[in-house]
């Protein structure tokens, strides 16, 4: 570990992303609704719970996801909001396990343009939701170790000592 500079630190940070589980990215408790619930009801649930995604579950098992984006699409299209949410949800959404890495969460979110990814157990039961806010909080908590310890110009040599 004699090499210094920003490249070394970027690699070090990448290692954390691939080794730390998504549990470190502050997953939230899932908000679950039934496939038979109306879109209108689910939109009220989203508003009252101050969340941007509802997990559509039957007996605790993930069947779909309905997000703010889906709600906006329904409103913009003038769709009937009294039909079951199962008609407008994303069926079989991308999901993760709690043991998956933070790096995988970032990759899924970035590649699929997702703001929320459900976390499921081995039986398909929703145990949490990892969101952009949780990942951002994780990054903020870890950046000080990498960024704040760097000198202002890592490759710059001072001709004279700075300071007293």
107 located within any domain: yes
What is the pLDDT of the chain when averaged over all its residues?
86
Report whether 124 contacts 116 (CB < 8 A). no
Query: Residues 17-48: pLDDT tens digits?
Result: 888 999 999 999 999 999 999 999 999 999 99
**DSSP label at residue 83:** S
- What is the number of structural domains in the chain? 1
Query: Residues 69-101: pLDDT tens digits?
Result: 999 999 999 999 999 999 999 999 999 999 999
164 located within any domain: no
| Domain ranges, residue 44 | 18-146
95 located within any domain: yes
CATH code for position 66: 3.10.580.10
* Alpha-carbon span 150 to 6, nearest angstrom: 8
**Residue 107: is its pLDDT beyond 90?**
yes
8 located within any domain: no
Q: Vertex 10, ends 157 and 135: CA angle to 5°?
A: 135
**Residue 115: is its pLDDT beyond 50?**
yes
| pLDDT value of residue 163 | 57
| pLDDT value of residue 19 | 86
156 located within any domain: no
71 located within any domain: yes
110 located within any domain: yes
Report whether 100 contacts 22 (CB < 8 A). yes
Bigger pLDDT: 161 vs 6: 161
């Amino acid at each position: 570990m004699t090499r210094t500079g920003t490249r070394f630190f970027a690699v070090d940070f990448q290692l954390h992303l691939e080794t730390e589980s998504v549990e470190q990215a502050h997953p939230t408790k899932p908000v679950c609704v039934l496939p038979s619930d109306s879109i209108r009801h689910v939109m009220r649930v989203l508003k009252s719970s101050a969340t941007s995604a509802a997990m559509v579950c039957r007996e605790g098992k993930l069947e779909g996801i309905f997000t703010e984006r889906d709600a906006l699409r329904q409103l913009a299209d003038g769709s009937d909001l009294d039909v079951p949410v199962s008609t407008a949800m994303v069926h079989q959404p991308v999901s993760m396990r709690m043991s998956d890495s933070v790096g995988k969460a970032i990759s899924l979110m970035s590649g699929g343009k997702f703001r929320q990814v459900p976390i499921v157990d081995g039986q398909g039961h929703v145990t949490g939701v990892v969101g952009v806010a949780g990942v951002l909080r994780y990054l903020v908590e870890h950046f000080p170790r990498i960024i704040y310890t760097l000198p202002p110009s890592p490759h710059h040599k001072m001709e004279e000592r700075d300071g007293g």
